[in-house]
Each structure stands twice: as C-alpha cells, then as structure tokens.
A and B are shown apart, each in its own frame.
Chain A
Amino acid sequence: MNVVSAMLRAYNVGFGDCLLLKLTYDDRNASTRCILFDFGTTKLPDSAAPGHMEVIARDIEAASGGKLAMVVATHRHADHVSGFGDNTTGPIIAGLEPALVVQPWTEDPDLAVDATQPLTGLRAEHAALTRTLTNMSAFAGGARIEALRLAGQHGFPPSVVERLSFLGETNLTNADAVKRLMTMGERRLYVKFGDRLPVGRLLPGVTVDVIGPPTLQQAPAIARQARTNAEEFWNLAATWGHAVAQGRATRGDAQSPLFPAAALDRVPQAARWLVPQLSRAYADNMLSILRVMDNVLNNTSLILLIEINETTTLLFPGDAQIENWSYALFDAPNHEEICARLAGTSVYKVGHHGSLNATPKTLWKGFKRRQDGAHITPDRLVTVMSTKSGKHGSKAAGTEVPRGLLVDALEEETRLYTTPHRTSRTKPWVDVPVPLR
C-alpha cells in the first residue's frame, strides 16, 4: 500500500493546537488513515460561537470516517489536551477508537507517586520529575484562584490578573483529559527520544520517529527539575496551592499566624498604601514561578519526525523549547544524522504557537527547502502555525507570541498557513496540502 495523497487540517482553536493528518492510500479497502495531533485550547478565537470545540470534534469524526489510526498528545498543557477532558468533545474523540495513543514518557502512569515498588536509579529520577510536574499543577491551581481574588481588589491591574489566570489555567492538570488519554484507544505508548513507533501495519508507508523529549540521562537540562532541592521547592509550592484551593491560605485562616495577637480585620489607614504594593509583589512572584513551570512542561513535549513514502518529511515539535531540542540538534551521538533528516523537512508545524525559543535558529537555518519569494519552486517548505496573538509574552520585552521576527521569516521563506483568520463558524480550519514527492 502506498500513500497517494496527504492533507493536514489545522483547526482554529484560538490559543491551542489541533491538527488532523489525513493519508489516502491506493488500496480501496483502507483508503484513508488519520492521525490527530492534540486537541486543546485555553482561549477560543474571538469569532467562536457556542459549541465551537464540538464543531471541530464533529469534523474530526466526519473527516476520519469514524476511526482514528493514532492520537498524539504532545504534552499535558491545557492548550493541547483540554478537548480530551471536556464532557462533550472528549467522548466524541474517544468514540473514534484510536488504535494507538502516544504521549511523552513523562506521562507514563507507572511513574506516579503511589507506585508500589520502590524505584531506584534513573527510574527514581524519572518518578521525581513526575512528582514535580504534579506539584507544579497544584501550584497553578492555587495561582488561578488567587488571580480571581486579586481581580476583586480595587485598582489591581487587570492585565496582571489576566496573565495570572491564563498561565494558571494553562498549567493546571486537566484530570479528566489525563484520565481519558490513559484509557482511550486500543494501545497506549509513552515514548522518548530514539523510539520508532510501531505503525508498520497501522500506517503503511509511514515511519514515525521520536526525537524528543530526551530522558533525564540524556539531557541534564531537563533533569534539573528532578533534583532534590527543586523537588522540595515544588512540594512546598504544591502545599500552598492545595491550601489556597481549600481556602486555608488567606491571612485570617492561617493555621499558625506569625503574629497571633495582631488585629487583622482592618488595615490601618497609615499602612493602606502598602497593600497594593504587596499584592503586586505577590502576583509577580506567582507569575515568575508560573513562567518557570510553563517552560518545564513545554520541554516535556513530543517531537515527532514523520516520513511518508520515504520521501516526504513532516515535523511536529509540539511546544518543545531549546532545552528539549538541544539533545536532538547538538548532544545526541547521532545528532548529525538527525539534522540531515530535519534539513529535508517538507512540512513544519511551527513550534509553540510561534514563540521566541521554540524554532531554534540551527533548525531553521538547516531547512534546505526555504525559498524566498523570487525563487519559488513546488519544493518550497510548507509551514503551519496555530496561534492567537495577545495571550503570551509582550512586544516590549521581545517575547510576544507569535514572535514578529519569526513570522516575518516564515512569510518570506516558506508557504505559511495560519489559523487565526479561519473564522468561519461551520468550517473553522485551514487545509494544508502535503506535497508528496
């Protein structure tokens, strides 16, 4: 069986990712096979009508003919998996009975905190990282609740509240999504750098290689979060998050107040000027911690290199940042061979919604199918970006998402498809033809 045509559908989910790769075969009995990459959002498009995500889920159902070959959840951020947890859209996708559900090794339930066997060596370190990720989620939950409380304070900047809520929500573990991904489909795989997915029968003519995330042994930069001091920090942060969630972290309810005799019902007039300053410092601290954890979670993203008919390469890097990319691009023993394969990429799903650090310059400069407007051939690199501006980073700091400099380069040197302008209420997506060679 050979793949005779391929099409990538990128849905406009606002700030999030949802892409469907549809392969058509020359065999009549199994003419199409579909792969779903992520299904989540943290901010719907401004044009979205009620039931927007259901419209998308129904289209995935129709386009795939009621059966998915594979579902890929690149990492646990809400903007990539929230749709799997939703009570309406989750069952629709689960009902498509994917033969294979693929997630990064950090999501392996065997690494959970209540593992019955004592873990040793590298496995213990992996479990420590998993605990840290769980603790981060608890902190994010607390930060989201505190954002709501601060929003009620007179004069507190709404932009800070919005940033806190957004990052808090993004990093919150969607328990329903995690549970559904753990039980969905016929077979589930938790994969790492160097794995080749067993898709020979499922997707004939296609190979899927995992080039990220590396394991802790391979990439010490990721291992930092599993070290004892970091683990202790996140444990404390999680305790605070749980206390906030239970309403025990506010001053009046503190279990052991520092000054038990102090009158706490009213701030004296002379000290009132200090309240907004303290609130702002409190919010800034939460934001700084949330940014660290956002980066850590992004670096657990799967990076998949897909080859069709041994000639056409597609690259799906999720939200991987430079720490995750580093192993494949620079540090792996076979990094030169990987770079050579990456250079031949025909379709690139732009990493992390077009952010500053998710399309490493080495990767970009290596793409040999980049062509400027004056020298366009049918071989030109195709890029696909799912994003929504104004949600992440700031232009003044040069951290806006999508990053202007990157977007300019993508527009100049590739055939760029983006989601934000796909505002149709019935067909909120863009179809990207995959150029098979």
Chain B
Amino acid sequence: MKVPKGMPGEHEVVLEGGSTLVLDQYGDLKFNVTNGLPPASSRRGKARWNKRIQYLWDEGYLTGGNRSSRLAAIHRERSLEDAGGAVADETVRVRRQTEGWRR
C-alpha cells in the first residue's frame, strides 16, 4: 500500500477487513457479506484502498484523535479562548497566525 501524502513515516495505521453475517429465521447462516483486504495481486483493489486511505487521512480520520466529539470541542474551545466576538478577539486570532513559527 502507499503511505498517504502528508502522513509521517512512523505513523501506524491498522487496516481491517469486515464481514456481515445474515441469519435466517432458524438462526442458520444465510448470507456472509465480506469486504476483505485486497490480495497482493489485485492492482485494482489496492488502488481503491489507497484512495480510501488517502481520503481518511485528508479528512483527519487517521490522526489518532476521536472525531465523535470534535464539534463539541470546537465550540468549547471557541467559548473559552475566543469568547465575546469583540474586535480584539479577531486581532488576537490574526496575531496567532502571523506571529507564530508556522512556516
């Protein structure tokens, strides 16, 4: 597999296949729907997975953090750090961007 663009080399990602079992009214297995990892020989399968992993990385799903509470966290941080909405707040926000050693 290809390492997604922008992901550091030491970052660990676990890839897992999945399977859904569908039982009939007697409890017997009726369907087994699987979505496995691509076999080493499947160029098309690997390409699909590479695209999927790149998407997940770009959207922040693989950064190790939890996304379920991200919206709540954004609101909380804005409330605690940038409360008020006064002009001074916007000035500070701009200064954080321009005065730090980002690049």
Least distance between B99 CB and chain A CB atoms (Å): 4
Q: Which residues of B contact A230 (CB under 8 A)?
A: 79-80, 83
Q: Which residues of B contact A361 (CB under 8 A)?
A: 98-101
- Which residue of B8, B81, B89, B101 is within 8 Å of A295 (Cβ)? B81
Instruction: Evaluate contact between B92 and A221: CB separation under 8 angstroms.
Output: yes
Contact flags B12-51 to A (C-beta < 8 A → 1, else 0): 0000000000000000000000000000000000000000
- Which residue of B84, B92, B96, B103 is within 8 Å of A405 (Cβ)? B103
- Which residue of A288, A330, A360 is within 8 Å of B77 (Cβ)? A288
Q: Which residues of A contact B1 (CB under 8 A)?
A: none
Q: How far is the CA of A268 from the CA of B100 in the complex (A)?
A: 48
Q: Which residues of A contact B96 (CB under 8 A)?
A: 322, 357
Given A221-B89, A224-B80, A405-B103: A157 and B64 within 8 A (CB)?
A: yes
Which residues of chain A in 394-437 are interfacial with respect to chain B, using CB atoms and an 8 Å cutoff?
395-396, 398, 403, 405-406, 409
Q: Which residues of B contact A229 (CB under 8 A)?
A: 79, 83
Instruction: Evaluate contact between A281 and B92: CB separation under 8 angstroms.
Output: no
Instruction: Evaluate contact between A220 and B101: CB separation under 8 angstroms.
Output: no
Q: Which residues of B contact A356 (CB under 8 A)?
A: 100-102
Q: Is the interface of A mostly helix, strand, loop or mixed?
A: helix
Instruction: Evaluate contact between B66 and A284: CB separation under 8 angstroms.
Output: yes
Count A interface residues, CB 8 Å. 38
Q: Which residues of A contact B92 (CB under 8 A)?
A: 221, 322-323, 326
Q: How far is the CA of A110 from the CA of B11 in the complex (A)?
A: 49
- Which residue of A220, A284, A403 is within 8 Å of B86 (Cβ)? A220
Least distance between B102 CB and chain A CB atoms (Å): 6
Q: Assess whether B52 is interfacial by the CB under 8 Å rule.
A: no
Given contacts A280-B65, A326-B91, A360-B99, 15 further A-B contacts (CB under 8 A): A224-B80, A224-B89, A281-B69, A284-B65, A284-B66, A288-B77, A292-B80, A295-B81, A322-B99, A322-B100, A326-B92, A357-B99, A361-B101, A405-B101, A406-B101
For the complex of A and B, the 10 pairs showing the least CB-CB separation, nearest first, are: A360-B99, A281-B66, A357-B100, A405-B101, A406-B101, A280-B66, A220-B88, A284-B66, A221-B92, A356-B100
